[in-house]
Every structure is written in structure tokens, then in C-alpha cells.
Homo-oligomer: A and B are copies of this chain.
């Protein structure tokens, strides 16, 4: 059976502002290593899936960036969302396009901007996930074994029903749960059967189509209308007109929280969602004072800071637990504990009509 991939690359990466910008969001930046995050995602997948079978869902703005960064990707494999919706419409649109080309494929759905250290481990797990997805009507997801009580992620609770396939544990899922508070996150961590929701899903295209029909019938109808227009001249107009009617729902909420037959494979392949600037603490080496430093920096009495220069000298004295990011036209200075709230600055820029800084 054919394996296809759907990379979701429409995000704005706002919590990585000011380096991540409207015209060049996080997935197109080199956050770690010499390649952009989406280039790394593609390379990783190509160990299992031919580039012809890899699809990227994004919005109009980023199509050119994708063509430039991944020149060997067939242009038709760039799926343009008419407007930014949530993950359910994204998966829905991709599923009908893929179904038309590969009527019997197993889809791997994954974000474009995550770091995975152990690529061999990832591929091994993906192969097993595909194997599980090809049985019955299973939905499979990769769960990250939590290493600290993170409150910024959704979690997946597994049952005691565990199979061993290819030396990997495959757990039947009990339920998907929303981002917990700190105490709950601590309990999840201690319990051993809660996993971080990686946003990576594996299923047969036909199976997800059936689940959409079952749990999101209105979206299903919109997708059917689009599909009927595929060979017609007004295809793009129909996709546009129907897509904007789609619900702003995640695939987690729309399907995963309601479906049966969900399996999670616990993973320890060095995963990070690079969700905000504090991720740099996790994915980089720190100096003897706990700082993560990049570029032209002079620091004295500086502890546990993340500092990135764009060429200009950044000189720090006495500061602790700060994020300092200098770009060509913006310098961000933010406490680490506010890293998740960088969007507040963007909101204020919009209010003040300073869109040039977004």
C-alpha cells in the first residue's frame, strides 16, 4: 500500500517573533542546524516516503517559499488553503486530493516545524504506525513520553491494553485531553500512561474520510462538493467557496476525541515542538552560566538567558532569565516566563497598525 504524507505548514509561528515573521514564519527558518525546519521535516520523511507522495498544505503566501526551499517537490503537491483554518479542514482538503491521486494510501499527517533528533528511531516508529493503521479502521498517533510537567501541550491517555509490534509498545488510547494545569500535568507525568500529543497522525485515507463523514458530516459534504469539481474548470473557485464554510476545528477535537480504535505509540526520539523561544534552552548547549548564546554577544554576570544577535553587538550585564532577540528592525526583550505571551505584542502591533513589524 502506498504511504503518503501531509505536512501542515500554514502556521505563523508567532511565538517565535520577531525572528518568525508573517512573510517568513518559523517553519522556514533555521532554528537548529543548517536547514529550515520544513526542509528537515521533508528530509526525514524521504527515508520512508517518495517526495512525489509528500504533500504540503499551506497558504498562498508561503507557496513561493516552499518552491524555493524544496525545489524537488512537485508543484502540484503544494496544497493551498484559501484561508487559514484549523487542522480538521486542512486534513480534510488533503485527504480528498490524495485520495484522487492515490486511492488506497496510508497518510502520515505531521507538523512542519518540529525537531526530531533520532531520525532512524522516528522512521522505525512510523513504519510500525503505518502497519497498525493498515489493520481494521485504526487511527494511530505518536505520543511523546513526557519528561517534565509541561502545561502547554495536549496529552493522550492510554489504556493498559498494550501490544508489542516490532519491539515497540502500541497502546490503545483511552482519551485525548486538553492542556492541563500544573498540578494535573504533574499527575500525568507521574502516572506513566499520559503522553504529549505530538500532532503526528497515521491513518488510511479511506478511514479518516469515513470518520469525517461520521463525526463532521457538514465538513464531509463540503469536501464532496469540492471533489466533484476536481476535473472542472471552476475547481479553484469551488474549493475556495466551500473551504471558507469549513469549521475552525482541530482534528483532535473534531475526530480524535470522539473516535474509537485509536492507538498511540510512545516515542523517545528526541522530540521538540519548538513552540516558543524557551525551546532553545532544550535544543541547544548552554554555557557555564546556563545561557544559550548565538551571534555577536558580550555578556557579564548574565545567567540562564537566551540571546540571539543579528550582527549588532548585544552587551548584557547582570541580567537573568531573559530572552533577547535582535533582528534587522526589531529587538525583543522578554522574560522567559512570558515566552508564551509574545503574541500579546503582536496583538498590540495590530491595534497600533504597525503591521510592518508583524
Could you list which residues of chain A lie within 8 angstroms of chain B, going by C-beta atoms? 18, 298, 300-301, 312-319, 322, 324, 326, 329-335, 337-338, 341-342, 344-345, 348-349, 352, 354, 357
Please tell me if the beta carbons of A322 and B333 are within 8 angstroms of each other in the complex: yes
Given A298-B345, A318-B338, A333-B330 contact (CB < 8 Å): no
Number of copies of this chain that the complex holds: 2
Q: Which residues of B contact A316 (CB under 8 A)?
A: 332-334
Please tell me if the beta carbons of B337 and A312 are within 8 angstroms of each other in the complex: no
A319 interface neighbour in B314, B333, B341, Cβ under 8 Å: B333
Please tell me if the beta carbons of A298 and B348 are within 8 angstroms of each other in the complex: yes
Some 11 contacts from A to B, beta carbons below 8 A apart, are A298-B348, A300-B344, A300-B345, A312-B329, A314-B331, A314-B333, A316-B332, A317-B333, A317-B344, A324-B333, A326-B331
Q: Which residues of B contact A314 (CB under 8 A)?
A: 330-331, 333
A349 interface neighbour in B298, B317, B322, B337, Cβ under 8 Å: B298
Q: Which residues of B contact A357 (CB under 8 A)?
A: 313, 315
Please tell me if the beta carbons of B313 and A337 are within 8 angstroms of each other in the complex: no
Closest to A341 in B: B317
Q: Which residues of B contact A354 (CB under 8 A)?
A: 298, 313
Q: Which residues of B contact A312 (CB under 8 A)?
A: 329-331
Please tell me if the beta carbons of B322 and A338 are within 8 angstroms of each other in the complex: no
Closest to A327 in B: B312
Given A326-B331, A333-B324, A338-B301, A18-B348 contact (CB < 8 Å): no
Q: Which residues of B contact A324 (CB under 8 A)?
A: 331, 333
Closest to A330 in B: B313
Please tell me if the beta carbons of B318 and A337 are within 8 angstroms of each other in the complex: yes
Closest to A17 in B: B315
Closest to A18 in B: B315
CA distance A315 to B17 in the complex (A): 10
The distance from the CB of A276 to the nearest CB of chain B, in whole angstroms, is 12
Q: Which residues of B contact A315 (CB under 8 A)?
A: 18, 330-334, 345, 357
CA distance A332 to B313 in the complex (A): 8
Q: Which residues of B contact A338 (CB under 8 A)?
A: 301, 317-318
Please tell me if the beta carbons of B335 and A318 are within 8 angstroms of each other in the complex: yes
Closest to A325 in B: B315
CA distance A349 to B322 in the complex (A): 22
The distance from the CB of A114 to the nearest CB of chain B, in whole angstroms, is 25
Closest to A317 in B: B334
| New A-B contacts (11) at CB < 8 Å, excluding given A314-B333, A326-B331 | A18-B315, A298-B345, A312-B331, A313-B354, A314-B330, A315-B330, A315-B333, A317-B334, A318-B334, A318-B335, A318-B341
